[in-house]
Structure 1
Amino acid sequence: MSENKRFEVTDHPISIEDVIQKVKRRECGAITTFIGTVREFTHGKRTLRLEYQAYKDMAEKMLAQIDKEVQEKWPDTRSAITHQTGTLEISDAAVVIAVSSPHRKSAYEANEYIIERIKEIVPIWKKEHWDDGSAWIGDQLENTPYPEGKPPKGASND
């Protein structure tokens, strides 16, 4: 299996089972998954849908970089990460992370580390569409480049 296949940004719906299969190994006693889904209410606002954009090539490189960090901290783990771009509806999976390990503790810890690092360094942008308007949400660091070199109209770092 190609390393790039474990770290993917796609405009297609994510198969949770496919992501899990990428980390299954005979020596693993635990597989943890994190599935980030589109929720209907955020901070009191009703969400209608989300829109994700990404700098795909760089995002996939950064996902692989996060895996290298994980390997330094939890060498017995294997991870796979898939993030969907485009328009997502309520309950759709936006990101799926799977981590396998011989023991559950390192799988849990690595999974949590991965989602936090994605929010910090991966060039993926989210636009929330609410029933009273919409805005780009900046989970990434302020110096992360926006698509096409400029912030999308209405970009915010809130």
Structure 2
Amino acid sequence: MARDATEIKEDGCYVALTDQHLSVNNVMDRVRSPQAGAIVMFAGTTRDNFGGKPVKELQYSAYNPLALRTMLSICKEIRDKHGLISIAMIHRLGIVPIGEESIIIAVSASHRQAAWRAGEQALEDCKERVEVWKREEFDGEEGVWRANRDGAVGQKVSQED
């Protein structure tokens, strides 16, 4: 992970926030284990459109201390519930261009079913609970701040705000 990352490693859980490019291989290595029969990865990328509008880029911001604590809490809950060997959740902050990853989640487990279920739950819980916000920048119009949740409608923020 980049030297400017804010991170916590604890009890088979790794969480981080960074403004650097994310590497799938680096995150996978965080959960790799000889005890694991499965590693499941999720990489969320910036797409070029939302709601029929062309997206220029996304910008993410967070309240880092609280976001990291929430991420760690989610990871511990999921690790215990699914009997994981380890779990890693890394979220990128700042500008994330089209086609680049904004979040990578990796889980390792003895068996694939636990890993599949845990990976999906980790993403859903992250989107629902972690204190990360995104601003969608559209071509030719003002950006929109949105809660970091699928399908949530954004609110326009004036430049004075």
Q: Tell me which interval the TM-score lies in, with the shorter structure as reference length.
A: 0.7 to 0.9
Q: Structure 1 residues 9 and 108, CA, compared in 2 at 3 Å: closer, same or farther?
A: same
What's the counterpart of residue 139 of structure 1?
A: 148
Structure 1 residues 51-95: Cα deviation after superposition (integer angstroms, max 9, x where no partner): 000111111111110012102311234110110000111001000
Give the whole-Å Cα distance in 1 for the aligned partners of 2:87 and 2:9: 13
What's the counterpart of residue 157 of structure 2?
A: 154
Q: Give 1:130 shift.
A: 0.6
| Mapped pair 1:97 → 2:102 | no
Q: Give 1:12 shift.
A: 0.9
Task: Give unmatched runs, 5+ long, in structure 2.
Answer: 1-7, 150-154
CA RMSD of aligned residues (A): 2.1
| Mapped pair 1:10 → 2:18 | yes
What's the counterpart of residue 44 of structure 1?
A: 52
Runs of 4+ more than 4 Å apart: none
Give the whole-Å Cα distance in 1 for the aligned partners of 2:26 and 2:81: 25
* 3-state secondary structure, aligned to 1:60: helix
Q: Percent identity?
A: 33
Question: Structure 1 length normalisation: TM-score?
Answer: 0.84
Give the whole-Å Cα distance in 1 for the aligned partners of 2:9 and 2:68: 13
What's the counterpart of residue 116 of structure 2?
A: 108
| Mapped pair 1:122 → 2:130 | yes
* 3-state secondary structure, aligned to 1:39: coil
Q: Give 1:97 shift.
A: 0.3
Give the whole-Å Cα distance in 1 for the aligned partners of 2:124 and 2:72: 14
Task: Give unmatched runs, 5+ long, in structure 1.
Answer: 141-151
Corresponding residue pairs, total: 144
Q: Give 1:153 shift.
A: 6.8
Structure 1 residues 23-64: Cα deviation after superposition (integer angstroms, max 9, x where no partner): 001110110100000000111111000000011111111111
Question: Structure 2 length normalisation: TM-score?
Answer: 0.83
Which aligned pairs between 1:17-32 and structure 2 lie closer than 5 A? Answer: 17-32=25-40
Residues 32-41 or 126-135, more deviating: 126-135
